[in-house]
Structures are given as structure tokens and as C-alpha cells.
Amino acid sequence: MDRLVFAAMTGARAAVNQLAITANNLANAATPGFREQIAAFRAVPMGGDGANTRAFALDTTPGSNFTMGAVESTNNPMDVAISDGAYLVLRRQDGREALTRAGRLS
């Protein structure tokens, strides 16, 4: 019985992760430089006696879609366009470096 509950739990967790990624994509759709996250799931067969027909869901590391979007002219000399897969390196207030794809530098 425990294995059956585990299989159901992993499926529910995968559905919640998919929903969270979709919500994040929708919330950031208008954010400059944002790229959608991509979630991938696969079924992994369970081993053991009597479990040959059962599988559990395994989510893989989410990826991002780095295809370049439309370039919009803002007439602001401090705005830049970033090509596929590139990031800007910024220095945070605490002195550490950070990566961003947002092209608004002003």
C-alpha cells in the first residue's frame, strides 16, 4: 500500500510543480528579458514484487526557452537587446555579481 501512495504522491507533486511553473510564466510574461520556464516529467517504473505495472512521476530540472523575442525600440539609449542565451553581469549592492536578461539599464 505504501508504494501505491508514493506513486500517487509523486504524480500530485508533478502536477503542482507544473502549475507553479505555468503561474510563474504567466506572472512574468510582460517582464523584459523574461524567458519561459519549461517543465518536463517522465514516468519511472517501480521495482519490487507486485509493482511491475506501477510507475512514479519524476520531474527533471526545469529549463528555459532562450529564443530571442521581438526587439522593441524604446528610444532610450540605456536600453539594450540581449541575444539568445546571453546574460548581463551586474554588481549588486553587496558587491557580489548577479546575472540578468533585463535590458533596461537606467
Q: What was the pLDDT predicted at 18?
A: 85
Provide the whole-model pTM.
Answer: 0.56
Sorted by sequence, the CB contacts under 8 Å of residue 59 that are 6+ apart come out as: 13, 14, 17, 39, 40, 41
pLDDT above 90 for 100: no
Q: Do residue 58 and residue 91 come from a single domain?
A: no
Q: Do residue 13 and residue 33 come from a single domain?
A: yes
Q: What is the pLDDT of residues 16-69, one digit of tens each?
A: 888 988 899 999 888 877 778 888 877 777 666 665 666 667 777 667 777 777
Q: At residue 10, what are phi and psi to the nearest 5 degrees?
A: -65, -35
Q: Do residue 73 and residue 94 come from a single domain?
A: yes
Q: Do residue 45 and residue 8 come from a single domain?
A: yes
Q: What is the pLDDT of residues 66-87, one digit of tens each?
A: 777 777 788 888 888 777 777 8
Q: Do residue 53 and residue 100 come from a single domain?
A: no
User: 66 vs 3, which has greater pLDDT?
Assistant: 66
- Buried b or exposed e, range 50-63, using 16+ CB within 10 angstroms: eeeebebbebeeee
User: Could you give the number of structural domains in the chain?
Assistant: 2
Q: Do residue 13 and residue 55 come from a single domain?
A: yes
Per the structure, the complete domain to which residue 102 belongs is given by 68-106
Q: Could you give the CA distance from residue 105 to residue 25 in angstroms, rounded to a whole number? A: 23
Q: What was the pLDDT predicted at 9?
A: 79
Q: Do residue 48 and residue 18 come from a single domain?
A: yes
